[in-house]
């Protein structure tokens, strides 16, 4: 991984927006610090489109869209998104309401079997706000042993689930989504951008294993220095700061790059 200053000027000039993870990237232990919120507004004022791309539940998405300067949000690791329609915020789900209800029921049956096998697993405290997945707390309030996490992962996979880990949660789902595919699908709907252009024209910043799909997909990928887990492909660039400090550092760099580009003859 290289410092931000090594991002090619041509790549910076192509950027129209920034997609970013929440936990341990924008947020510090779940808190939005004033300087991080200020960085979001500064990015927006500099002309960058902003997209939250998170494993957090869809119940967070609508709230964030109404409170932060976001163009759209991707939640539940790519399965459920939110977009604007004038002053309204719309939820975007590939499944119809009956299809989602049927899949949710199947997921709950599967999760019951996982919990029977691993009763020591603790559900995440945001699980009631989810539609497409079920999450266990492995690092937010609980400290699940690595061997327990691996055993639960293996059990869920054997039952036919898709499983993703973040710095705080173990996600179990019957949706075959990831953050990158969810984002690319959304901007294609919003801006009629093909996937190749989307990967070139947006940067991504994240911190953990469930950001791996975005680290692999986007041309400009940034990790905050507290990068955790084992993403299959690490980000190309890294901040000096951790969590919100790293996000602010990246935001300031991108804003400065845009101003320099505008000032160039």
Q: What is the model's pTM?
A: 0.92
Token representation of residue 53: 């791309």
Is the pLDDT reported for residue 167 higher than 80? Answer: no
What value does the mean pLDDT of the chain take?
94
Count the neighbouring beta carbons within 10 Å of the beta carbon of residue 86.
Answer: 6
Domain edges within the chain: 2-94+177-263, 97-173
Where does 97-145 have alpha helices with state H?
Answer: 97-117
Cβ-Cβ contacts under 8 Å for 10 (sequence gap 6 or more): none
Count the neighbouring beta carbons within 10 Å of the beta carbon of residue 9.
Answer: 11
In the three-class reduction of DSSP (H, G, I as helix; E, B as strand; rest coil), residue 24 is classed as: coil
Give the residue among 55, 49, 56 at the shortest CA–CA distance from 83.
49
Q: In whole angstroms, how far apart are CA 102 and each of 98, 157, 164?
A: 6, 20, 22
Q: What is the pLDDT of residue 231?
A: 62
CATH of segment(s) 97-173: 3.90.1070.10
Q: What is the pLDDT of residue 210?
A: 78
Structure confidence by residue, pLDDT tens digits, 104-151: 999 999 999 999 999 999 999 999 999 999 999 999 899 999 999 999
Is the pLDDT reported for residue 255 higher than 90? Answer: yes
Cβ distance 206 to 235 under 8 Å? yes
Cβ distance 74 to 91 under 8 Å? no
Q: What is the pLDDT of residue 125?
A: 93
Percent share of the chain, pLDDT over 70 = 98
Tokens 């084992």 label which residue?
Answer: 230
- Please give the CATH topology (third level) of the domain spanning 2-94+177-263: Rossmann fold (3.40.50)
Q: In whole angstroms, how far apart are CA 247 and each of 43, 57, 64, 86, 185?
A: 11, 22, 17, 29, 25
Structure confidence by residue, pLDDT tens digits, 172-224: 999 988 999 999 999 999 999 999 999 999 999 999 877 889 999 999 999 99
Percent share of the chain, pLDDT over 90 = 87
Give first-to-last CA distance, the chain, whole Å.
31
Interior/surface letters 202-237, b for 16+ CB within 10 angstroms, e for the rest: bbbbbbbbbbbbbbbbbbbbbbbebbbeebeebbbb
Is the pLDDT reported for residue 225 higher than 90? Answer: yes
């Amino acid at each position: 991984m290289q410092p931000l200053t090594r991002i090619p000027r041509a790549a910076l000039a192509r950027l129209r927006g920034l997609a970013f993870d929440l936990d341990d990237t924008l947020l510090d232990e779940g808190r939005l610090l004033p300087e991080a919120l200020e960085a979001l507004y500064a990015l927006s004022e500099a002309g960058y489109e902003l997209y939250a791309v998170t494993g957090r539940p869809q119940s967070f998405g609508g709230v964030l869209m109404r409170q932060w300067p976001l163009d759209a949000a991707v939640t539940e690791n790519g399965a459920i998104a939110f977009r604007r329609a004038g002053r309204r915020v719309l939820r975007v789900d590939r499944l119809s309401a009956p299809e989602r209800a049927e899949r949710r029921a199947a997921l709950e049956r599967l999760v019951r079997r996982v919990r029977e096998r691993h009763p020591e697993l603790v559900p995440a405290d945001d699980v009631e706000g989810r539609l497409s997945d079920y999450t266990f707390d492995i690092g937010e309030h609980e400290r699940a042993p690595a061997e327990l996490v691996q055993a639960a992962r293996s059990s869920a996979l054997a039952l036919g689930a898709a499983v993703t880990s973040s710095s705080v949660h173990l996600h179990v789902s019957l949706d075959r989504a990831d953050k990158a595919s969810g984002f690319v699908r959304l901007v294609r709907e919003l801006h009629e951008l093909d996937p190749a252009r989307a990967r070139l024209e947006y940067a991504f910043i994240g911190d953990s294993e469930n950001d791996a799909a975005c680290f692999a997909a986007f041309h400009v990928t940034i990790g905050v220095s507290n990068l955790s887990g084992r993403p299959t492909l690490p980000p190309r660039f890294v901040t000096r700061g951790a969590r919100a400090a790293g996000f602010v550092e990246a935001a300031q760099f991108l804003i400065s790059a845009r101003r320099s580009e505008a000032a160039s003859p």
